Amino acid sequence: MLKQRIVEDYFDSKTYSNQEILQKIEETKKEYHKKIIDVDININEFGVFVVTYYFKVSNNIFHKIFIKIKHRKKKNETKLLQEESFSFDKKSREERKQEKIKRRMEKYSGNKYGVYKETRTYKPY
């Protein structure tokens, strides 16, 4: 079995009788008719019925296959990252910063600030 999902209902013992609580339990079981449900009923120190529903999740073969495929995929991703073809150049932080500034300067070197770019199209408001 995998993780169990839990739903809790709280009923005041002064307003609900035992039969009403059992009817509510049957109604919730009908709502989740495809699930395997275990029910636990307790009374806490405040006089409140705590009805806990434990939903069992079966461990089928398809789930196991899916987990194995996921595991293999993660292994392959880590292998790809470790290959030399995917490794980055080992440059210092300052060198990378200087290259970035140099590329930016080359890109904007022909631009003149404060002058509009000529588009030769007129678009009135």
Per-residue tokens: 56:
């069992």
Q: What is the mean pLDDT of residues 12-25?
A: 89
Q: Check pLDDT > 80 for residue 85.
A: no
Per-residue tokens: 7:
């739903």
Q: Check pLDDT > 60 for residue 28.
A: yes
Amino acid at position 15, single letter = T
Domain boundaries, the chain: 5-56
pTM of the model: 0.44
The lowest-confidence range among 17-21, 27-31, 51-55, 83-87 is 83-87
Question: pLDDT: is 67 or 124 the higher one?
Answer: 124
Confidence at 101, pLDDT banded by 50, 70, 90 = confident
Residue 19 has phi, psi (to 5 degrees) of: -70, -40
